Structure 1
């Protein structure tokens, strides 16, 4: 059973601008937000806000709220713009990302949402930019904003967490088949054809927004030499269980370290999800391998096969030590009934 306090605890990790964790806004784009001023890198065509001379000023707008009692719901409303100045020669537009979903729905390793056992099946699932267009029915996903089928979730800074694939349905950073590597800035963001700024891989900039003008990834030696390694390195100051986003299926997305300060390099399934505590809670984790944050909505299985769309994917998957833990879903009414039946059976035994 999920409690609203658990939901609001997660919501408070987001850089919200609406002033409440329990009351959603009617339209996120109509709110005030927090202004970000960029003195370089934009012009009147590419600026997602207003140009004042050579300075582009846009507003970051984000609202994350929780509601409900027996079934806790989390609603995410974002205009998709970060708290820093992206490096992009392309157009960025304000978005209307707005969805509501069951918070941290109970799932089990014994009841999988995804079960790909061959390279062909795994590639068909994970090498598809539309894989996360819809969430499992248990999530009860409702979208109020623009229908962005390639969005898998939202980062703590309001930026869209896009499905891991490029438009060519391959790893954007370690592609196969002679496909090009996608260009991103040093925060791993870039816009798509619909002018949506987004991440395919975990960005430390979401937690610690850089000031001033950032460079491109290719213009940052440590980034260009290894995108995957550089992504993890930006979390050196966050070596604990750190919320970095929420997926469209209601599960939390965490950074690359667990609660013991250990980098997550195993224990996750094909979706990059992991049962990570003794309660049997399931979440996605940032990793150094494809699909980096979330590749499908889990839980998934643990095959000894890899995908054909990435040269940086695991060759096999292993369960975490918590994968077999059952989650208690008994309500207080159910427990009372159990105790009553036990008491009556005891009385009958005593009378005999």
Structure 2
């Protein structure tokens, strides 16, 4: 059973209260950065007083789960206990905010591991982190200088199916160098014992200082969920759709990624992550409490997308932030304002779209599921990747033109009705 020590209840109450503000879109201001930070299920928030940290000033949260399989300390035990670390900090001026996030990617819910387990400890933690401009406006991007005043700005422009296959069927495209240079992206790793962060990634020489980190680089991380779990691409290390793989037209069986009841996996690098949207990002759902392999849950094994949709609380089936992308933009869940799922013509090649004047990403129930490139991206019609049985394919340009931009006024009008 998933358990939290009583000391942590106060912190959770604060987070749940903060999550009431989940429908309005975000712009590039320090106030919106702080508002977004309040949605994060942090263990340490430099923008909040110590009384709201959990537990009572400690920078980590102790999580306990029974029958999870192999524990983060690599031992098979009845009860697993681990330190979860997730810090957030907003800084900068009113209209030039920056956000810094550190996480060890260990979940705030139960996981299940029979072979590959997420590495961690009940007495220590190491963490990955990045610092980047928050919710950068398109006009302030470095790439924007290459376009005329009336031209549409594209950070990524894919024109053919070959382009699509090269980008979307890669599991490690998310290199630091791919983030727009004006976002000022920096990444770090955290040494708990030395109580300091370094900009140098893990090497053979410094690996002993970071025993709880196993990723050689951040190229597979496209973002961080509100609960601190990393979002990876929706493509496996083999270069196929993580859930509905297809070997182009060559035939033969291709394995999918093994996930647990929360659609998380630690199949490589001893790092827990999501390759798609997980309803376990939200507190208060039963999936979080009972560890199991997805393959042993009939509805999950049959179709993870249907499983994820049906296990999402009804009140969350609207436009809801669920994470932060590596380029500093907000990641939203798979639902539109009316509760319908995003469709292929609703998004660009990066799985992004405009929310008012701000660009953001959405998770989808078709490949690439999460983020497939840093946007804004172009729209490509009648083209699909060969590595997925569930590819994104937009065949209706009129639909995309009419639905691509969500009016900020419409969102605010809906908020007025709700609140």
Structure-1-length-normalised TM-score: 0.82
- State the Cα distance separating 1:326 from its structure 2 match: 12
Unaligned runs of 5+ in 1: 25-29, 328-352
Render the CA deviation track for 1:119-165: whole Å, top value 9, x for unaligned: 11111011111211222223221001254221111011111101221
Choose the corresponding residue for 2:222, options 152, 164, 185. 152
C-alpha separation in 2, matches of 1:322 and 1:176: 30
Q: Which residue of 1 aligns with 2:61?
A: 34
- State the Cα distance separating 1:77 from its structure 2 match: 0.8
Render the CA deviation track for 1:85-118: whole Å, top value 9, x for unaligned: 2011222113512101111111268110111111
- State the Cα distance separating 1:39 from its structure 2 match: 2.0
C-alpha separation in 2, matches of 1:186 and 1:41: 11
1:112 aligns to 2:112 (yes or no): no
Rg (Cα) greater in structure: 1
Q: Which residue of 2 aligns with 1:246?
A: 324
C-alpha separation in 2, matches of 1:312 and 1:126: 13
1:12 aligns to 2:54 (yes or no): no
1:47 aligns to 2:124 (yes or no): no
Q: Which secondary structure does the structure 1 equivalent of 2:166 belong to?
A: helix
| Contact 2:294/2:301, CA 8 A, preserved across alignment | yes
C-alpha separation in 1, matches of 2:153 and 2:407: 12
Q: Which secondary structure does the structure 2 equivalent of 1:144 belong to?
A: strand
Render the CA deviation track for 1:182-212: whole Å, top value 9, x for unaligned: 1101111111321000000000001126453
- State the Cα distance separating 1:227 from its structure 2 match: 1.2
Q: Which residue of 1 aligns with 2:15?
A: none
Count of residues paired in the alignment: 317
| Contact 1:275/1:320, CA 8 A, preserved across alignment | no
1:87 aligns to 2:120 (yes or no): no
Q: Which residue of 1 aligns with 2:7?
A: none
Distance 1:87 1:324, change over 3 A: closer
Render the CA deviation track for 1:276-323: whole Å, top value 9, x for unaligned: 22xx21111121111112111111111121111111012227545475
Give the root-mean-square deviation of aligned CA atoms: 2.7
1:21 aligns to 2:47 (yes or no): yes
Q: Which residue of 2 aligns with 1:101?
A: 132
Q: Which residue of 2 aligns with 1:330?
A: none
C-alpha separation in 1, matches of 2:256 and 2:367: 14
| Contact 1:275/1:322, CA 8 A, preserved across alignment | no
Q: Which residue of 2 aligns with 1:196?
A: 271
| Contact 2:112/2:260, CA 8 A, preserved across alignment | yes
Choose the corresponding residue for 2:87, options 63, 87, 101. 63
Choose the corresponding residue for 2:376, options 299, 322, 325. 299
C-alpha separation in 2, matches of 1:48 and 1:185: 15
| Contact 1:191/1:197, CA 8 A, preserved across alignment | yes
| Contact 2:40/2:227, CA 8 A, preserved across alignment | yes
| Contact 1:254/1:285, CA 8 A, preserved across alignment | yes
C-alpha separation in 2, matches of 1:176 and 1:252: 30
Q: Which residue of 2 aligns with 1:72?
A: 97
| Contact 2:329/2:359, CA 8 A, preserved across alignment | yes
Choose the corresponding residue for 1:271, options 346, 350, 358. 350
Q: Which secondary structure does the structure 1 equivalent of 2:360 belong to?
A: strand
C-alpha separation in 2, matches of 1:162 and 1:31: 28
Q: Which secondary structure does the structure 1 equivalent of 2:242 belong to?
A: coil
Structure-2-length-normalised TM-score: 0.70
C-alpha separation in 2, matches of 1:49 and 1:187: 21
Distance 1:21 1:242, change over 3 A: farther
C-alpha separation in 1, matches of 2:310 and 2:363: 12
Q: Which residue of 2 aligns with 1:167?
A: 237
Moved more, 202-211 or 288-297: 202-211
Render the CA deviation track for 1:238-274: whole Å, top value 9, x for unaligned: 0222111100011111111233444322320011001
Distance 1:137 1:234, change over 3 A: farther
Structure 1 or 2: more helix by fraction: 2
